[in-house]
A and B are shown apart, each in its own frame.
Chain A
Amino acid sequence: MQGLVKAFQPSSNEVQLGIKQMKIRLLTGLLTLLMPAMVMAGEYGLTVDRVKIDTGDFVKEGIGYNGASPGPVMRFKEGENVRINVTNNLDEMTSIHWHGLILPFDQDGVPGISFPGIKPGETFTYEFPIQQAGTYWFHSHSGFQEPDGAYGAIVIEPEGREPFRYDREYVVQLTDKHPHSGDRIMRNLKMMSDYYNREQQTVGEFFSDVSKNGLMNTVSDRMAWGSMRMMKADVEDIHGFTGLINGKGPSQNWTGIFEPGERIRLRFINSSAMTYFDIRIPGLDMTVVQADGNNVQPVSVDEFRIGVAETYDVIVRPKDEQAYTIFAESMGRSGYARATLAPEEGMEAAVPQLREAARLTMADMGGMPGMDHGSMAGMDHGNMDMGSSEGVSGMDHSNMGSMDHSNMKGMDHSNMKGMDHSDMSGMDHGSMAMGKGGPSDPFYAKGSGLVPTAANGGKFLSYSDLKAQDPLYEDREPTREIELRLTGNMERYTWSINGVKYEDADPIRLKYGERVRFKFVNETMMTHPMHLHGMWSILDVGAGQWNPIKHTVSVNPGTTVYMETEVDEPGQWAFHCHLSYHAAAGMFRKVIVEGGPESTQAKTGVVAEDGGEA
Chain B
Amino acid sequence: MSCIRSLAAVSFLASIGFSTTVIAQEMISDTTARKQPLTAWGVQFEEFEYRYSDDDEELGVWNADAFYGTDEFKVRLLTTGEYEIEEQAYETLENQLVGQIPISKFFDAKAGVRFDTPEGPDRTYAVLGVAGLAPQWFEVDANLYVSKDGDSSAEIDAEYELLFTNYWILSATLDATVAFSEDEEVGVGKGLVSTETGLRLRYDLIDRAFSPYVGVVHERKYGDTADLAKAEGGGTEDWFAVIGARIAF
The 4 closest A-B pairs by CB, nearest first: A111-B32, A191-B42, A190-B40, A610-B35
> Which residues of chain A in 352-411 are interfacial with respect to chain B, using CB atoms and an 8 Å cutoff?
none
Complex contact B32–A195 (CB within 8 A)? no
Complex contact B35–A125 (CB within 8 A)? no
> Is A431 in the interface zone, CB < 8 Å from B?
no
A188 contact set on B, CB distance < 8 A: 42, 207-208
Contact residue among B15, B71, B163, B248 (Cβ-Cβ distance under 8 Å from A492): B71
The stretch from B130-138, B179-187, B189-197 touching chain A is B130-138
Q: How long is the Cα–Cα vector from A119 to B30 in the complex, in angstroms?
A: 9
Contact residue among B29, B105, B166 (Cβ-Cβ distance under 8 Å from A198): B166
Give min CB distance, B33 to chain A, whole Å.
Answer: 4
> Is B162 in the interface zone, CB < 8 Å from A?
yes
Q: How long is the Cα–Cα vector from A290 to B7 in the complex, in angstroms?
A: 35
> Is A535 in the interface zone, CB < 8 Å from B?
no
The number of chain A residues with a CB under 8 A from chain B is 57
Complex contact A491–B33 (CB within 8 A)? no
Binding site for B on A (CB under 8 A): 83, 92-95, 106, 111-112, 116-117, 119-120, 125-127, 141-143, 180, 186-188, 190-192, 195, 198-204, 223, 226-227, 229, 240, 489, 491-492, 494, 501-503, 584-586, 602-603, 605-606, 608, 610-613
From B1, B67, B71, B164, name the one whose CB has the most chain A CB atoms within 10 angstroms.
B71
What are some 20 contacts across the A-B interface (CB < 8 A)? A83-B3, A93-B32, A117-B32, A127-B1, A187-B40, A188-B207, A188-B208, A190-B40, A198-B166, A200-B166, A202-B163, A203-B164, A223-B136, A226-B137, A489-B105, A503-B37, A605-B18, A610-B33, A611-B32, A612-B34
> Is B165 in the interface zone, CB < 8 Å from A?
yes
Complex contact B10–A142 (CB within 8 A)? no
Complex contact B38–A605 (CB within 8 A)? no
Q: How long is the Cα–Cα vector from A491 to B18 in the complex, in angstroms?
A: 40
Complex contact A613–B164 (CB within 8 A)? no
A489 contact set on B, CB distance < 8 A: 105
State whether A120 and B28 are in contact (beta carbons under 8 Å apart), knowing that A191-B44, A611-B35 are contacts in the complex. Answer: yes
Q: How long is the Cα–Cα vector from A125 to B14 in the complex, in angstroms?
A: 19
Q: How long is the Cα–Cα vector from A24 to B4 in the complex, in angstroms?
A: 29
Give min CB distance, A443 to chain B, whole Å.
Answer: 28
Complex contact B102–A142 (CB within 8 A)? no
B67 contact set on A, CB distance < 8 A: 191
Q: How long is the Cα–Cα vector from A478 to B107 in the complex, in angstroms?
A: 42
- When C-beta atoms are compared, the residue in chain B nearest to A611 turns out to be B33
Complex contact A204–B165 (CB within 8 A)? yes
Complex contact A606–B14 (CB within 8 A)? yes
> Is B22 in the interface zone, CB < 8 Å from A?
yes
Complex contact B135–A200 (CB within 8 A)? no
Complex contact A605–B11 (CB within 8 A)? yes
Binding site for A on B (CB under 8 A): 1, 3-4, 7-8, 10-11, 14-15, 18, 21-22, 25, 28-38, 40-42, 44, 67, 71, 102, 105-106, 133, 135-137, 162-167, 207-208, 248
State whether A611 and B34 are in contact (beta carbons under 8 Å apart), knowing that A127-B3, A195-B208 are contacts in the complex. Answer: yes
Complex contact A229–B35 (CB within 8 A)? no
B31 contact set on A, CB distance < 8 A: 92-93, 142-143
Q: How long is the Cα–Cα vector from A120 to B29 in the complex, in angstroms?
A: 11
Complex contact B32–A201 (CB within 8 A)? no
Complex contact B166–A202 (CB within 8 A)? yes
Q: How long is the Cα–Cα vector from A135 to B28 in the complex, in angstroms?
A: 35
Complex contact B3–A186 (CB within 8 A)? no
Complex contact A192–B38 (CB within 8 A)? no
- When C-beta atoms are compared, the residue in chain A nearest to B69 turns out to be A190
Complex contact A613–B3 (CB within 8 A)? no
Q: How long is the Cα–Cα vector from A422 to B37 in the complex, in angstroms?
A: 48
Q: How long is the Cα–Cα vector from A106 to B67 in the complex, in angstroms?
A: 39
Q: How long is the Cα–Cα vector from A158 to B140 in the complex, in angstroms?
A: 60
Q: How long is the Cα–Cα vector from A117 to B21 in the complex, in angstroms?
A: 13
B35 contact set on A, CB distance < 8 A: 112, 502-503, 610-613
B22 contact set on A, CB distance < 8 A: 608
B1 contact set on A, CB distance < 8 A: 127
A584 contact set on B, CB distance < 8 A: 38
Contact residue among A106, A112, A127, A227 (Cβ-Cβ distance under 8 Å from B33): A112
Q: How long is the Cα–Cα vector from A227 to B136 in the complex, in angstroms?
A: 5
Give min CB distance, B28 to chain A, whole Å.
Answer: 6
Complex contact B11–A200 (CB within 8 A)? no
Complex contact B28–A119 (CB within 8 A)? yes
Complex contact B7–A116 (CB within 8 A)? no
- When C-beta atoms are compared, the residue in chain A nearest to B248 turns out to be A191
Complex contact B163–A127 (CB within 8 A)? no
Contacts A142-B31, A201-B163 known; 15 new A-B pairs at CB < 8 A: A112-B32, A112-B33, A116-B33, A142-B32, A187-B42, A190-B42, A191-B40, A195-B207, A203-B163, A491-B133, A602-B8, A605-B11, A605-B18, A608-B22, A613-B35
Complex contact A125–B3 (CB within 8 A)? yes
Complex contact A116–B133 (CB within 8 A)? no
Give min CB distance, B151 to chain A, whole Å.
Answer: 34
A92 contact set on B, CB distance < 8 A: 28-29, 31
Give min CB distance, B162 to chain A, whole Å.
Answer: 6
Q: How long is the Cα–Cα vector from A195 to B37 in the complex, in angstroms?
A: 21
State whether A608 and B33 are in contact (beta carbons under 8 Å apart), knowing that A127-B4, A223-B136 are contacts in the complex. Answer: yes
A203 contact set on B, CB distance < 8 A: 162-164
Complex contact A93–B37 (CB within 8 A)? no
A503 contact set on B, CB distance < 8 A: 35-37
Q: How long is the Cα–Cα vector from A586 to B36 in the complex, in angstroms?
A: 10
- When C-beta atoms are compared, the residue in chain B nearest to A233 turns out to be B166
Q: How long is the Cα–Cα vector from A99 to B60 in the complex, in angstroms?
A: 55
- When C-beta atoms are compared, the residue in chain B nearest to A194 turns out to be B208
- When C-beta atoms are compared, the residue in chain A nearest to B4 turns out to be A127
A93 contact set on B, CB distance < 8 A: 28, 30-33
Contact residue among B30, B166, B248 (Cβ-Cβ distance under 8 Å from A199): B166
From A92, A120, A229, name the one whose CB has the most chain B CB atoms within 10 angstroms.
A229
A186 contact set on B, CB distance < 8 A: 38, 40
Complex contact A492–B38 (CB within 8 A)? no
State whether A229 and B135 are in contact (beta carbons under 8 Å apart), knowing that A502-B35, A503-B36, A611-B35 are contacts in the complex. Answer: yes
Complex contact A112–B40 (CB within 8 A)? no
Complex contact B165–A202 (CB within 8 A)? yes
Give min CB distance, B75 to chain A, whole Å.
Answer: 14
Contact residue among A191, A201, A613 (Cβ-Cβ distance under 8 Å from B34): A613
Q: How long is the Cα–Cα vector from A578 to B70 in the complex, in angstroms?
A: 22
B29 contact set on A, CB distance < 8 A: 92
Complex contact B135–A227 (CB within 8 A)? yes
Complex contact A190–B207 (CB within 8 A)? no
B8 contact set on A, CB distance < 8 A: 602-603
Q: How long is the Cα–Cα vector from A94 to B33 in the complex, in angstroms?
A: 10
Q: How long is the Cα–Cα vector from A323 to B4 in the complex, in angstroms?
A: 50
Give min CB distance, A556 to chain B, whole Å.
Answer: 22
Complex contact A204–B137 (CB within 8 A)? no
State whether A229 and B248 are in contact (beta carbons under 8 Å apart), knowing that A141-B32, A190-B40, A608-B22 are contacts in the complex. Answer: no
Complex contact B135–A226 (CB within 8 A)? yes
A120 contact set on B, CB distance < 8 A: 28
Contact residue among A106, A191, A240 (Cβ-Cβ distance under 8 Å from B7): A106
- When C-beta atoms are compared, the residue in chain A nearest to B135 turns out to be A227
A190 contact set on B, CB distance < 8 A: 38, 40, 42
Q: How long is the Cα–Cα vector from A489 to B67 in the complex, in angstroms?
A: 20
